[in-house]
Amino acid sequence: MSSYPPLAAYGLIGDRHSAALVCASGSIDWCCLPRFDSGAVFGRLLDWERGGRFAIECPGAECGQRYLEGTMVLETRLRGAGGEARLLDFFPPPEGRRDSHVVRIVEGVSGSLDLRVHFEPRFDYGQVRPWLRGAGEDGRRFAAIGGADGLVLRGELELEFEGRHVLHGATTIGEGERRRFELAYRRPVELDSLDGLEPLDAGAVDESLRRTEEWWREWGRCARGEVVDAFPGATRSALTLKALTFEPTGAIAAAATTSLPEVRQLSGERNWDYRYSWVRDSAMTVRSLAELGCERDADEFRRFIERSAAGNSTDLQILFGVGGERRLGEQRVKGLEGWRGSTPVRVGNQAAGQLQLDAFGQIVDQSWRWHRRGNSPDHDYWLFIADLVDTVAEHWEDRDKGIWEWRGEPRHFVHSKALSWSAVDRGIRLGEDCGKDVPDAWREAREAIREDVEREGYDEGRGIFRMAYGYDDHDAALLRLPAAGFLAWDDERMLRTADALRGALDLGGGLLRRYDADDGMPPEGAFLACSFWLATCLARQGRDDEAREVFQRAEGTANGLGLFSEEYDPEAERMLGNFPQALTHLAHIEAAVALSRAKRAS
């Protein structure tokens, strides 16, 4: 097996349609076009030899990465014996274009540096070796076609064929010089003829860099105030969440990748596809962005959910494709070795068919919060909310799969019950505030759910809440009970529950596992969102020093760019799971807000 870089070596670029991961060496090792959930056109992240890449590298050079301030423009510094260069990678904002395209600009900083270019696309997760053709005789314009995909590469460097499926080239770049490349997605039918493929316009490329920087900085100005001043990493988390938003619909992808392992020994079944929009994660993302002042995205996601569910609670799934697609059948991609040998490689996610009652609570709570910010639901949206609450009032006694998408038999998860209570409670409050008729059945359900949870979900002997009725396992999702409004942060039961969870699930310094129940799978790493939830809970309970200690430990798991993975192995000190992970970033923002408020109150 080849030597894969750690996940921490990658930076994210995106245009709110697509995303790519760029290694600190200068290689694009993961890129899905034309959408987040499309087939990978470069997939070396999941198979080092067969996945494909687009590399601009200086072998043996010292490398480092940063984002241009306030943007998602990624700068990779390459320092060799003879000089230094910087590589700028970005997706220009779509602005009405039909295609997604990546721009790569190499600029000499000092001295001179020898660079090598290697262009090896592999469509459909490495399954298709596309046909490469040159346009004209200058060796600077090419098209790649195969199956349902096509790419156009234009640049300022003459490239040569290595067989029919690879291009390579070399150049020496001096101080102040630039070499530009533009890679655009096309439908194969558009590439039957290459006669109209013009040479790269250097001036237009440089202008796209200026516009991209300007666009991101303008959007980022929404993040303001004491939270950002005290916790500047929160702005990077906000930018990352925005980059994972699918602009045409308002959906938010849970991550940019698929099949990166969550287990510490890098083997087993915990390899999932997260390039879809989870209702829960997206609702929480909107809440976190709103806390920073970025409220413009909330209404877009609200309408995405209404459209995707066809305005009907019975058609609400817990996740959708970023375009609103419902059929996300799970498949295994054969022939790929997986990141560091971890298989299977999965595409699709069968959890789309699960019942997870907490998703209803997240949607109604989001609508309640949106209303409190001065945006009351119109008649049609109120009917949708009322339908959701009716469904919860009718089905809250059902077992479900819970927030962690339990793949065993359904259970009465306490977190799911509390979020069911929240759905009904927020529905009642919203209806009363908006002058709607609130059915007596809702009030009866609200009281019944609370009584049920406090009787069956609470362990009187230990004085804490349990994971599920009839099970004494610990579940970090219980840290969310106050966020759902089910009880106060400083309720004695919550104080004891938080302490018990930390004692049972801590892998070091407040880095928590999700739960300690036996799910028949190999052990995971620390689930970073849970660690930030603990920091939030401690801060809301007035335990500021403990909260800050946990926050700093969790924040320290980010890479040098401020990007978080889903999980972390404290023993091996490496990121695990899909990357970057929206749930971790939104929990990071929420914890920063809680700590900022605690500081103001002290």
> Would the pLDDT of 222 be above 80?
no
The pLDDT score that the predictor gives to residue 28 is: 98
- Report the pLDDT value the prediction gives residue 288, as an integer from 0 to 100: 83
Which pLDDT band holds residue 208 (cuts at 50, 70, 90)? very high
pLDDT at residue 386 tops 80? yes
Task: Enter the DSSP assignment of 321.
Answer: -
The pLDDT assigned to 443 comes to: 97
Mean pLDDT to the nearest integer, 447-469: 97
pLDDT at residue 66, as a whole number: 98
Is the pLDDT reported for residue 228 higher than 80? no
- Which structure tokens are listed for 161? 């064929």
| Mean pLDDT, residues 561-581 | 96
What is the percent of the chain with per-residue pLDDT over 90, rounded to a whole number? 72
Lowest pLDDT segment from 216-220, 311-315, 490-494: 311-315
Between CA 230 and CA 247 the distance in angstroms is: 30
Query: 530: closest CA among 440, 591, 465?
Result: 591
Residues 373-392, mean pLDDT to the nearest whole number: 89
What's the confidence (pLDDT) of residue 2?
Answer: 62
CB-based contacts of 232, cutoff 8 Å, min separation 6: none
What value does the mean pLDDT take over residues 368-395? Answer: 89
Q: Which of 28-32, 94-98, 430-434 has the lowest mean pLDDT?
A: 94-98
- Comparing CA positions, the residue from 563, 538, 600 lying closest to residue 225 is 600
Query: Of the candidates 544, 190, 513, 483, which has an alpha carbon nearest to the alpha carbon of residue 358?
Result: 483
Q: What mean pLDDT is reported for the chain?
A: 91
Tokens standing for residue 43: 């997939």
pLDDT bracket for residue 353 (50, 70, 90): confident
Residue 284's identity, in one-letter code, is M
Residue 131 pairs with which residues in a beta bridge?
Answer: 145
Report the chain's terminal Cα–Cα distance, integer Å: 54
Amino acid letter for position 212: T
Q: Is the pLDDT of residue 600 over 70?
A: no
DSSP secondary structure string for all residues of 169-223: EEEEEEBT-EEEEEEEEE-GGGGS--TT-PPP-HHHHHHHHHHHHHHHHHHHTTS
Helix (H, G, I), strand (E, B) or coil at 12: strand
Contact 16, 36 (CB under 8 A): no
Q: How confident is the model at residue 225 (pLDDT cuts 50, 70, 90)?
A: low
Assign 245 to helix, strand or coil: strand
Q: What is the sign, positive or negative, of the torsion defined by CA atoms of 248, 582, 100, 74? A: positive
What span, in angstroms and rounded, lies between the C-alpha atoms of 325 and 320?
A: 6
Alpha carbon 145 to its chain's center: 29
Which region among 251-255, 453-457, 557-561 has the lowest average model confidence (pLDDT)? 251-255
User: In 3-state terms, the chain is what percent helix, strand and coil (to 5)?
Assistant: 35, 25, 40
390-395: long-range contacts at Cβ-Cβ below 8 A with a sequence spacing of 24 or more?
Answer: 390/313, 390/439, 390/441, 391/313, 391/314, 391/360, 392/357, 392/360, 392/361, 392/420, 392/423, 392/424, 392/445, 393/424, 393/441, 393/442, 393/445, 395/357
Q: How many CA atoms lie within 13 A of 257 on its CB side?
A: 32
What is the rounded average pLDDT of the residues 60-85? 95
Domains defined along the chain, listed by start: 7-217 (2.70.98), 354-493 (no CATH)
Cis upstream peptide for 199 (omega within 30°): no
Q: What percent of the chain lies above the pLDDT cut of 70?
A: 96
Angle in degrees, CA 318, 323, 329, rounded to 5: 55
pLDDT in tens, 407-424: 788 999 999 999 999 999
pLDDT at 139: 86
Model confidence band, residue 137 (pLDDT cutoffs 50, 70, 90): confident
Q: Are 276 and 320 in contact (CB under 8 A)?
A: yes
Greater pLDDT, 379 or 222: 379
φ/ψ (deg, to 5) at 489: -60, -40
Most confident of 79-83, 225-229, 381-385, 558-562: 558-562
Q: Which of these, 67, 580, 598, 588, lies nearest to 274 by C-alpha position?
A: 580
With 60 as the cut, is the pLDDT of residue 1 above it? no
> Cis (ω within 30 of 0) for the bond into 344?
yes
Helix axes 414-433, 358-372, angle to 10 degrees: 30
